[in-house]
Amino acid sequence: MTRHDAIVIGAGVNGLVAATVLARAGLDVCVIEQSDRLGGMATLSVDDGPELAHLVHNLSPRVRRDIGLDPHRWPFRQTALPTVALDESGRHVIVTRNAVTFADGTAHPDARACLALTARLRRYGELLRMLAEAAPPGGDAPLASARGLRQILRLGRFGLGLRGLGRAEARRFLQVLLSNAYDLIRDDLPEGPLAGMLAADAVRGIAQGPRSPGTVFTLIHRYGHGGVAALPQGGMSAVVDALAQAARDVGCTLRTGVRATGIQLQDDRVCAVTTASGETLLTSRVLVGSGPRLAAELVGAGAFDIEAMRRIGRIRARGVAAKVNLRLDRMPDVPGLNADQLRGRLVFAPGADYVEAAFNPAKYGEMSDNPVIEAVIRDEGAIWLSAVVQYAPSDLNGGWSDAARAALARRTLATLGRAIPGLDARVRETQVIAPDAIAAATGAPGGHWHHAEMTLDQILTLRPANGIGRYAIGPRGLFLCGASTHPGGDVMGLAGRNAAREVLG
């Protein structure tokens, strides 16, 4: 029997980060992963198609520092992509960090308002990032202890940051924080592709519409690290390779094809992990990437309090984003877009109302007739159009049959076809990865982007649920480290990094 100081179950982005942070503190860490690849949801792909995640928005520099990488650069190249808000009539809008123009280079009448709004979101994002880069406030540590003081200091800095916004802006921040993205966007922008693009960004990966309360928060979340979507060269595998290399560099053992079947306890403390192959790995700390439900299954409900089991059972994690990958015979022609613009982040959401209307069927277990789509076209040998299609709920009425997947592919093509005429003639191969397949392949609850819905009742100390909001869960030595914990997923790495720091105490 082998012994490790810590075992991480699940080699997703957060699991790898957590393992590295622990190993850098001197612990002997083993990461076990049930599938035969690293990266979890981020790198899930079928038949050499594009990976599930195609862009990075929020990859945290703090994480990069804490896993021992170059403090200024990731070891892979990233290209910041302009966002293209697609328009059926060909008046596409190009949005970069500093400019909003029509695709033909002419000035956009709402450019100033849009840039002001995104600049505000960026400032709010910087402020909230202070909370994201630490465990949620609270816990048992006495105020006078080192941990207690650190916490007070952090909250103090957050307070100063809030004051730093200025009185009027701080008031505005607090006014809109809990509110819905639709109102915020439409206060400043008329209905149209620009408003639609922001509304789509507010709800990407979550089971909410832009009019749902709390979507300003999720929109800010998207701007938490500047809001620029970047294409990592080599895809998400390059990101995960960098994380895995960082883990190996500090001595972590990474084992794929090893499925945990149980977590053993001794005297209310974690003592071992058993695997499907009959191995027993001795340890005193276990970090679970997939979420509290798997943790409870592995340990047994009896090791948790009744209230904890009730809350775990009621965590909302309803995945609504499906992945549709289309292999094309050549780059499509999009009237009004040049070749560079076509390689940008294409968003089809002609208006904020369109996004809200797309959400409506999902409330009743149906997929959108007219989905909201974020697409990237990459030409690396084969030409793939990689699309995140929303809303395609995990609890689809009738289940995700072949017919349902075909219907989603049809609707995706039809919707994209409104802005990219003749697209269907270009398609040579279609892949549909529905939320149920994501859940089955990665263990992500409900196939949800964040493992647990990002609503106000499931953030900070309430993430994923009251009483388990600070990574520790149930018996001593058991922790959560995945996207279901604060501050959520999105290939950010902070959840794993924060969890590891809690483990270290």
Query: Which chain residues interact with other proteins by CB under 8 A?
Result: 140, 268, 296, 300-310, 313, 467, 475
- For other proteins, the closer of residues 157 and 476 by Cβ is 476
CA distance from start to end of the chain: 27
Burial of 205 (C-beta count, 10 Å sphere; 0-12/13-18/19+)? buried
Report the 10 Å Cβ neighbour count for 84: 26
Q: Which two tokens stand for residue 444?
A: 């992500």
Q: What is the 3-state secondary structure (H, E, C) of 188-236?
A: HCCCCHHHHHHHHHHHCCCCCCCCCCCHHHHHHHHCCCCCCCEEECCHH
What are the residues facing 79 on neighbouring strands? 231
- For other proteins, the closer of residues 148 and 226 by Cβ is 148
- For other proteins, the closer of residues 268 and 457 by Cβ is 268
- For other proteins, the closer of residues 292 and 493 by Cβ is 292
Distances in whole angstroms, Cα of residue 222 to Cα of each of 123, 177, 491: 12, 14, 12
- For other proteins, the closer of residues 109 and 300 by Cβ is 300
Query: Is 238:51 a contact under the CB 8 Å cutoff?
Result: no
- For other proteins, the closer of residues 159 and 300 by Cβ is 300
**Nearest distance, CB of residue 502 and other proteins, angstroms:** 17
**Nearest distance, CB of residue 268 and other proteins, angstroms:** 6
What are the residues facing 287 on neighbouring strands? 8, 479
**Nearest distance, CB of residue 141 and other proteins, angstroms:** 12
**Nearest distance, CB of residue 145 and other proteins, angstroms:** 15
Burial of 287 (C-beta count, 10 Å sphere; 0-12/13-18/19+)? buried
- For other proteins, the closer of residues 2 and 466 by Cβ is 466
Query: Is 311:457 a contact under the CB 8 Å cutoff?
Result: no
